[in-house]
């Protein structure tokens, strides 16, 4: 009986100690299961934000995370969606501006062509008008020159003919 009384605490200690190991061995997988259950949905939601951002970066301007849950991950998704909306709007605006710039360049080119045509038209008109006036003056004086100086009249007649040819 004395031996039993003396060994009882040791036996109890061994049982508690071994039972504690069993409890520890069971509690670790349970803790991992609880952590997995708590974090699995957040991890999936974060993966959704990452895959959505990759799609957006690859040119899918309609890609949005659209996370309805109001927590930190939902806030990240909402911020991403706001950023994506802003970038998509800016891209549409830049495309519109680029299209308008192309139209303006075409209008400027057309206007420059029209202005050059008008300038050439005026220059041709002025040049032809000057030559015709010169031709008129030269032909009016030709009979007088031929009467007074036939040799000079002959040279003058050739000049008038060349001027008429050029005109």
Residues of the chain falling short of pLDDT 70:
1-28
* Tokens linked to 155: 């040279």
* Phi–psi pair at 69, nearest 5 degrees: -80, 135
**pLDDT recorded at residue 78:** 95
pLDDT single digits (tens) 95-136: 999 999 999 999 999 999 999 999 888 887 777 888 888 888
From residue 153, give the alpha-carbon distance in Å to each of 28, 140, 143. 127, 12, 8
């Amino acid at each position: 009986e004395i031996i039993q009384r003396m060994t009882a605490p040791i036996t109890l200690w061994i049982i508690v100690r071994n039972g504690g190991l069993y409890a520890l061995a069971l509690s670790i997988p349970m803790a991992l299961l609880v952590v997995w259950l708590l974090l699995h949905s957040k991890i999936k939601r974060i993966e959704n934000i990452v895959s959505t951002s990759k799609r957006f970066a690859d040119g899918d301007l309609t890609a949005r995370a659209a996370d309805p849950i109001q927590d930190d991950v939902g806030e990240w998704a909402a911020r991403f969606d706001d950023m994506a909306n802003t970038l998509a709007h800016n891209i549409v605006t830049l495309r519109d501006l680029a299209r308008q710039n192309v139209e303006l360049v075409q209008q400027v080119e057309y206007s420059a062509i029209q202005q050059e045509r008008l300038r050439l038209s005026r220059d041709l008109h002025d040049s032809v008008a000057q030559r015709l006036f010169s031709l008129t003056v030269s032909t009016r004086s030709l009979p007088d020159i031929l009467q007074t100086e036939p040799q000079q009249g002959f040279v003058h007649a050739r000049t008038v003919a060349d001027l008429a040819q050029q005109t």
